[in-house]
């Protein structure tokens, strides 16, 4: 026994068996307790509930939904809402963050200072608090009749943000659909609900502060000699940025940028605090109605893991391409 214990391979095997055994035992114990508890409370298990009628309405949806649809469709609506807000958030945060990051590096003292103030004050305050403020601001806007009208066709009111949209229903050429006030509400155009607008604003503004720092660090990582070499070739400032600095900076920028994109997706469930029906919010309603917390939470986790894996796979592919091109 003693010599077996001192055998390298045996000991390695033993450690592994012990750890895996402990994990399996813990998992089994939790599953057992859960099953007992669920049985005691008369809660069903399994994914059968997905096929049943949801019975609740969802305030906004990109696909048709009514309370008589199934839980599965309700969750799909939630997922699509999550994807929409994350996708738009990624685009707008990248644009805003890049602008601020470049502004911070600009030779202009005033602009640089303002960018620093922005970054420091946004980064150091919890996103959820910022969301509450955004939601408060959006909902305390004037009623539709007295809506703010900053640009032609754009209305800001406590009903949300209304912007011109494209109408494809009149044949193959889209018609610009400019919203106008009719009675107490707007007709035509695209309406972003207050919840959606607040969430998008919050995610954009918050993440942009982090992206700005990433962009700045990426640009600073390009050696100064590169700019000097490009200047000596007679390239203009704009050309240098576009042709010399950015392609090199991107290699440094892309990996941390990926994790910021993931953060947008993972922060989007904060929607629940302001009532935007994203995946987590919908699944919580489902959990409250059916009691099937395990399945609901597990589904959400699986979906987010899927999003994470997909995004990092995409970024890895991009990263590889960038690395090859510049080497």
Partner 1 sequence: MSRPLSWAKANLFGSPASSLLTVLTLALLWQVVPPLVDWALIGASWGAGDPERCRAAGGACWTLLTERHRLMLFGVYPYDQHWRPALAVALFIALLAISANRRCWKPWLGGAWALAVMIFAALMWGGVLGLAPVETSQWGGLPLTLVIAVLAIAVAFPFSILLALGRRSGLPAIRAVSVGYIELVRGVPLVSVLFMASVMFPLFLPEGMTIDKVLRALVGMTLFTAAYLAEAVRGGLQAIPRGQFEAADALGLGYWRSMRLIILPQALRLVIPPIVNQFITCFKDTSLVTIVGLYDLLAASKAALNDPAWRPYFVEGYLAAALVYFCFCFFMSRYSQWLERDLRQGNR
Partner 2 sequence: MIMQDPPIVELNGVNKWYGDFHVLKDIGLEVARGEKVVVCGPSGSGKSTMIRCINRLEEHQSGCIVVDGVELGDDLKAIEAIRRRVGMVFQSFNLFPHLTVLENLTLAPIRVAGMTPAEAADTAMALLERVRIPDQAAKYPGQLSGGQQQRVAIARALCLKPKVMLFDEPTSALDPEMVGEVLDVMTALASEGMTMICVTHEMAFARAVADTMVFMDEGRVVEVAKPALFFDHPANERTRRFLGKIIGH
Query: Cα separation of 96 and 92, whole Å?
Result: 6
Provide the mask over 288-317, with x wherever binding to partner 1 is found by CB under 8 A and - wherever it is not. Answer: -----xx--x--xx--xx--xx--------
Backbone angles phi, psi at 178, to 5 degrees: -90, 125
Query: Cα separation of 270 and 199, whole Å?
Result: 8
Kindly state the smallest distance separating residue 227's Cβ from partner 1, in Å.
15
Secondary element (H or E) of residue 155:
strand 154-157
Task: Report residue 289 CA to chain centroid gap.
Answer: 27
| Interface region with partner 1, contact rule CB under 8 A, candidates 63-71, 136-144, 147-155, 156-164 | 136-144
Kindly state the smallest distance separating residue 20's Cβ from partner 2, in Å.
21
| Interface region with partner 2, contact rule CB under 8 A, candidates 8-16, 17-25, 47-55, 272-280 | 8-16
Please say which residue, 7 or 68, places its beta carbon nearer to partner 2.
7
| Interface region with partner 2, contact rule CB under 8 A, candidates 2-10, 98-106, 274-282, 314-322 | 2-10
Q: Is residue 3 part of the contact set for partner 2 (CB under 8 A)?
A: yes
Query: Cα separation of 201 and 206, whole Å?
Result: 8
Sign of CA dihedral 62, 68, 69, 75: positive
Query: Cα separation of 255 and 311, whole Å?
Result: 11
Secondary element (H or E) of residue 250:
helix 246-267
Kindly state the smallest distance separating residue 8's Cβ from partner 2, in Å.
4
Residue among 59, 91, 306 at smallest CA distance from 194 = 59
Give a three-class secondary structure readout of 44-59: CCCHHHHHCECCCCCC
Distances (CA, A) of 235 to 63, 223, 246: 50, 17, 14
Distances (CA, A) of 322 to 177, 318, 325: 40, 6, 5
Q: Which of residues 17-56 bind partner 1 (CB under 8 A)?
A: 17, 19-20, 23, 30, 33-34, 36-38, 40
Distances (CA, A) of 163 to 133, 135, 176: 22, 19, 11
Q: Is residue 1 part of the contact set for partner 2 (CB under 8 A)?
A: no
Sign of CA dihedral 103, 154, 198, 297: negative
| Interface region with partner 1, contact rule CB under 8 A, candidates 67-75, 187-195, 241-249, 261-269 | 261-269
Kindly state the smallest distance separating residue 22's Cβ from partner 2, in Å.
23
Binder of residue 64, out of partner 1, partner 2, none (CB less than 5 to 8 A by kind): none
Q: Is residue 239 part of the contact set for partner 1 (CB under 8 A)?
A: no
Q: Could you tell me where the DSSP H helices lie in 68-153?
A: 71-105, 109-123, 127-139
Q: Is residue 11 part of the contact set for partner 2 (CB under 8 A)?
A: yes
Q: Which of residues 84-123 bind partner 1 (CB under 8 A)?
A: 106-111, 114, 120-121, 123
Using an 8 Å Cβ cutoff, are 111 and 103 in contact?
yes
Using an 8 Å Cβ cutoff, are 217 and 281 in contact?
no
Please say which residue, 12 or 174, places its beta carbon nearer to partner 2.
12
Single residue of 7, 16, 66, 326 touching partner 1 by CB under 8 A: 16
Q: Is residue 140 part of the contact set for partner 2 (CB under 8 A)?
A: no
Kindly state the smallest distance separating residue 125's Cβ from partner 1, in Å.
4
Kindly state the smallest distance separating residue 3's Cβ from partner 2, in Å.
7
The binding site for partner 2 (CB under 8 A) comprises: 3, 6-11
Binding site for partner 1 (CB under 8 A): 12, 15-17, 19-20, 23, 30, 33-34, 36-38, 40, 106-111, 114, 120-121, 123-130, 132-133, 136-137, 140, 265-270, 272-273, 280, 284, 287, 293-294, 297, 300-301, 304-305, 308-309
């Amino acid at each position: 026994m003693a010599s077996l214990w001192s055998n390298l391979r045996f000991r390695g095997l033993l450690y592994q068996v012990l750890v895996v055994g402990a994990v399996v035992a813990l998992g089994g114990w939790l599953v057992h307790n859960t099953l007992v508890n669920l049985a005691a409370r008369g809660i069903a298990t399994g994914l059968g509930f997905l096929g049943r009628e949801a019975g609740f309405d969802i305030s906004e949806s990109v696909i048709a939904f009514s309370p008589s649809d199934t839980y599965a469709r309700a969750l799909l609506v939630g997922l699509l809402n999550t994807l929409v807000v994350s996708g738009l958030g990624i685009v707008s945060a990248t644009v805003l963050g890049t602008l601020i990051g470049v502004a911070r590096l600009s030779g202009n003292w005033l602009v640089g200072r303002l960018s620093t103030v922005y970054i420091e004050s946004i980064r150091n305050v919890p996103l959820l608090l910022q969301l509450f403020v955004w939601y408060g601001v959006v909902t305390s806007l004037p009623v539709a009749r007295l809506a703010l009208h900053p640009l032609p066709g754009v209305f800001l009111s406590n009903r949300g943000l209304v912007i011109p949209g494209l109408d494809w229903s009149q044949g193959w050429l889209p018609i610009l659909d400019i919203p106008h006030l009719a009675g107490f509400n707007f007709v035509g155009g695209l309406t972003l609900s207050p919840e959606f607008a607040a969430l998008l604003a919050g995610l954009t503004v918050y993440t942009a502060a982090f992206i700005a720092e990433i962009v700045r660090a990426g640009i600073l990582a390009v050696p100064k000699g590169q700019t000097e070499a490009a200047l000596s070739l007679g390239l203009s400032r704009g050309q240098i940025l576009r042709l010399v600095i950015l392609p090199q900076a991107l290699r440094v920028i892309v990996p941390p940028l990926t994790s910021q994109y993931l953060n947008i997706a993972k922060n989007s469930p904060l929607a629940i605090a302001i009532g935007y029906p994203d995946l987590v919010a919908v699944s919580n309603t489902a959990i409250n109605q059916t009691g099937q917390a395990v399945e609901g939470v597990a589904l959400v986790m699986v979906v987010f893991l899927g999003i994470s894996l997909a995004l990092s796979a995409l970024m890895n592919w991009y990263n590889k391409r960038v690395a090859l091109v510049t080497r």
